[in-house]
Amino acid sequence: MANSMVDDPRQIREENPFESMMERFDRAAQLLNLDADLYAVMRVPNRELKVYIPVRMDSGRIQVFEGFRVQHNFARGPAKGGIRYSPDVNIDEVRALAAWMTWKCAVVDVPFGGGKGGVICDPLQMSLGELERLTRRYASELIDFIGPEKDVPAPDMNTNEQTMAWIMDTYSMHARHTVNAVVTGKPVALGGSRGRREATGRGLLFVINEAAKRFKMSPPATRVVVQGSGNVGGIGARLMHEAGYKVIAISDMFGGIYNKDGIDIPAALTHLQTTRSFDEFPGVERVNNHELLELDCDVLVPAATENQITSENADRIKCKILAEGANGPTTAAADTILHNKGIFVIPDILANAGGVTVSYFEWVQDRMGYFWKEDVVNERLKDIMVASFNDLVKYADNHSVDTRTAAYMLAIDRVAYDTRMRGIYA
Ligand code: GLU
C-alpha cells in the first residue's frame, strides 16, 4: 500500500502533508503581502465533512468505515478533486490534498475550487461487491454536499472509472434523473471524456517536454526515472517512452527495476499487469523505492505518494529536473536542499494538473451534452499545460523565486483576486 514507500527507517515523516502545504502557503502569502483578512480566510478550508459508512461485508456482518470530504475553497467555482481509498488516509492528508486542488486549478486557470475525499479502507482486501456497497453508501452520505455546481469528485489513489460510475448512479438514483456532471473520470460510455484516463500522464509529458527544451535536452539523451506505475507513473512512463525518452527505471509499491541503457516500458508494464509484479522481468537490476529516487538521471518523476523526498534524502537526489507526478512527493523541508543543488522543480500543482484539466473538459462536455474527439481533448490539454508552464517560469523569473514558490504565489494571487472581487461574506 501507499505507506510501504515510507516504511524504510531512513524515511522520516518530518512533516505531515498539511504542514508541508501550509509552510509553502505562508511563504507565498508573505511574499505577496497578502492582506490579513484574505490570509485569515484563505488559510482554512471552507467545509469539512466526516462520515461513518456502514457496509454489509460478504461475511454478512456490518463493518463501519470512516470517510471524509474536505471542500477547501469555492472562490473560483465548484470544489473539485479526487476521492482516495487507503488504510492510512487521514483528515490532515485530505485537507492538504483539498488545498492542493485549489492551488492546482488556479495554476492552470480552470474555473474550480478545491476539494478531496478519502475513505479509510484497504481496497486490496475487499471484494468488488464490498467496494460497490462502500462507494454507494459514502456517495449517499455526500449527496447534499456534492453536485455539478457544488463539488465534483474524481478518481484518486485506489479509485477508478468504476468507482465514479457507482457514485454517478447513486447520485442520479436519488435525483431521479441522470446527472453525469456530478463526477469526472467516468467511463467514456457514461459521459466520461476521451483522453481523461491518460490525461495526468500526458500533461506530465507536455511540461517535461517544455523543461527539456529549456535545458536543451533531447529526448533520446534524457534519462528518466519514474517512481510509481499506476495511472500517473505507468501512463506517464509509457508516453515518455513513446516520445523517445530513455526511461531507465520504474517501480511499483514493492520496488523497482533499473537498466542504465533504458527499459522497454510497454513490455515492463505488460509484465506487471499479467504477473502483478516486476519480478523476473528480464535484463534489469532490482532496486528498492528509496534507491530508485537516488539514481543518477536527468528527469526524476515521483508519481506515487507523499513525503518521498525529505530533508533526509534530498541531498542524494541526482536529477536535473524533478517533475512531480504525485501530490506532495517533496516535503517543504526538502525544497531548500533541492533549490541549493540547482534542481529545476516542476511542482506537483502544475506537473500533475493534466488530470483535473481534462476533468474540467469532461464537466464542460457533460453540461453541453456534446463530446469531443480525443485529438481535440489532447490539443486543448497541451495548450493549457504549455501556457501554464511558461506563465510559471516567467513568474518565477520576474519575482526571482524558485518555481515551487512561484506556483503558490501565482495560485494564491488568483484566488485572492477572486475572493476580493466577490467580497468576504462576513
Ligand atoms: N485526483 C486527481 C488529482 O489529484 C484528479 C482530480 C480531478 O480530476 O478532479 O489531481
Task: Tell me the H-state helices in 318-402.
Answer: 332-340, 348-351, 354-368, 374-399
Please check the confidence at residue 15 and state whether its pLDDT lies above 90.
Answer: no
CA pair distance 251, 234, nearest whole angstrom: 9
Please check the confidence at residue 6 and state whether its pLDDT lies above 90.
Answer: no
Q: Cell digits for 8?
A: 524504510
Among residues of the chain, what percentage have pLDDT more than 70?
97
CATH of 46-180, one of 3.20.20.70, 1.10.10.10, 3.40.50.10860, 3.40.47.10: 3.40.50.10860
- Name the residue ranges covered by the structural domains of the chain: 46-180, 199-351
Mapping DSSP to helix (H, G, I), strand (E, B) and coil, where does residue 151 land?
Answer: strand
User: If you average pLDDT over residues 23-38, what whole number do you get?
Assistant: 97
pTM, to two decimals = 0.96
Cβ contact 114:145 at 8 Å: no
User: If you average pLDDT over residues 285-293, what whole number do you get?
Assistant: 97
Cα(422) to ligand 1 centroid in Å equals 26
Q: Which atom of ligand 1 is nearest to the CA of 152?
A: 9
Q: Which atom of ligand 1 is nearest to the CA of 352?
A: 10
The string of pLDDT tens digits covering residues 65-121 is: 999 999 999 999 999 999 999 999 999 999 999 999 999 999 999 999 999 999 999
Q: Which of 50, 80, 104, 116 is catalytic?
A: 116
Ligand 1: residues within 6 Å at CB?
80-82, 154, 156, 184-185, 327, 352, 355-356, 359
CATH of domain 199-351: 3.40.50.720
The string of pLDDT tens digits covering residues 320-375 is: 999 999 999 999 999 999 999 999 999 999 999 999 999 999 999 999 999 999 99
Q: What share of the chain is helix, strand, coil (3-state, %, to 5)?
A: 50, 15, 35
Quick one: which of 81, 99, 50 has its CA closest to 150?
81
Calculate the average pLDDT of the chain. Answer: 96
User: If you average pLDDT over residues 173-196, what whole number do you get?
Assistant: 98
Query: Cα–Cα distances in Å, from 354 out to 181, 189, 336, 373, 374?
Result: 18, 21, 26, 17, 14
- Band (pLDDT 50/70/90 cuts) for residue 378 is very high
pLDDT value for 241: 98
Q: Is 382 a catalytic residue?
A: no
Among 101, 157, 197, 358, say which to mutate for ligand 1: greatest number of ligand atoms within 8 Å of CB. 101
Q: Which atom of ligand 1 is nearest to the CA of 184?
A: 8
Please check the confidence at residue 9 and state whether its pLDDT lies above 60.
Answer: no
Cα(67) to ligand 1 centroid in Å equals 18
Please check the confidence at residue 390 and state whether its pLDDT lies above 90.
Answer: yes
- Band (pLDDT 50/70/90 cuts) for residue 13 is low
Fold match, 46-180 / 199-351 = yes
Of all protein residues, the one whose alpha carbon is nearest to atom 8 of ligand 1 is 356
